[in-house]
Amino acid sequence: MAEPTSSLLDELAVTLRDAGLDAFVRPGHAGAPDQLLVVFDPAGTAAGLHAQLLFLPGADEPPILQYYVALACSVPDEIADVMCRFLNAANAPLPLGAFGLLEVDKVVFYRFNAPARLDPFDADMVGWTLTMAEYVVGELAPLIEAVAGGMGLDEALGFLASTLQQIEAEADGLELS
């Protein structure tokens, strides 16, 4: 990726650290681009989750910033179909991003790709997107982990419906600034 995006990741890391987040840049290697790693919930309740932000190689006009979070659970082969059906149901109402399952590694992830304006670079929008991603992952990760652990689809869908109702009720009380 072009040098300007690497320096933007460095600037963004400083901005996020100034906002109280644990953020640092991991230099690219072996063809992989530089990545900005942001720890979700420094208080420790998110069990070591972190977001990886990177500019997608080859996407320069406009550049595309990817937000990626790998969940800490692996999915046994016999549960993969149930997990895919559950993730499909969870993704439908999400306002931003989506969950997926890496078929070979059986790892569940959350990902969002967005075009990035570089001049001027909007660090506040990146911070807002990270906050949304942390919220969505934080709310749904325990349920995804339960499905990976063998919770049946019908039971999981029931919990998903009540979780989504709770999220909607909380959102009704929020004001966007």
Q: Is the pLDDT of residue 69 over 90?
A: yes
Q: How is 111-176 classified by DSSP, letter by letter?
A: EEEEE--BTTB-HHHHHHHHHHHHHHHHHHHHHHHHHHTT--HHHHHHHHHHHHHHHHHHHHT---
Report yes or no on 60 lying in a domain.
yes
Residue 75's CATH number: 3.30.1460.10
Of 118, 113, 86, 114, residue with least CA distance to 100: 86
Q: What is the value of pTM for the model shown?
A: 0.85
Report yes or no on 168 lying in a domain.
yes
Domain span at residue 55 reads 3-172
Pick 15 or 83 by higher pLDDT. 83
The domain tally of the chain equals 1
Q: Is the pLDDT of residue 42 over 50?
A: no
Three-state SS at 27: coil
Q: Picking from 29-43, 58-72, 155-169, which range would have the lowest pLDDT averaged per residue?
A: 29-43
- Residue range 37-41: mean pLDDT, rounded: 84
Could you read off the pLDDT of 145-159 as tens digits, one per residue?
A: 999 999 999 999 999
Q: Is the pLDDT of residue 78 over 80?
A: yes
Report yes or no on 177 lying in a domain.
no
